[in-house]
Amino acid sequence: MFGGALGGGSQQPAQPAMGGQGQMDPNAQLMAAEQEMEMVTTMFEHLTDLCYKKCLIQRYSDEELTKAESVCIDRCAAKYFQVNREVSDKLAKMSQANSM
């Protein structure tokens, strides 16, 4: 579900066990969903921490974000996702090349 931009870089979920009809084993489904949730949570924590440190002034003079803070956070998040996608794509290509 979140493989490309949100996949968390080189972390790939384990391949699920398939049943006789090509359906995923319920335990494998649960395990895959838990791994995906953990990757998304970790990615969000890294993004939040990085952009907070980079963009937000530590002295809170206003309860709202300033325009500069808002623009910085928007750019920071966009760059984070772009780099994450590029790294994921590169790792996938390398993995495919190694498996041939």
C-alpha 20: how far from its chain's center?
Answer: 32
Integer Cα distance of 6 and 46 in angstroms: 12
The pLDDT of 61-78, averaged and rounded, is 92
Token pair, residue 59, equals 């002295």
pLDDT at 26: 87
| pLDDT digit string, tens, across residues 9-67 | 444 444 544 445 557 788 999 999 999 999 999 999 999 999 999 998 777 778 888 89
pTM for this model (two decimals) = 0.63
C-alpha 11: how far from its chain's center?
Answer: 10
Which of 14-18, 37-41, 81-85, 87-91 has the weakest average pLDDT? 14-18
Residues 79/54, Cβ–Cβ less than 8 Å: no
Q: How confident is the model at residue 81 (pLDDT cuts 50, 70, 90)?
A: very high
The pLDDT of 76-83, averaged and rounded, is 95
More confident residue, 84 or 23: 84
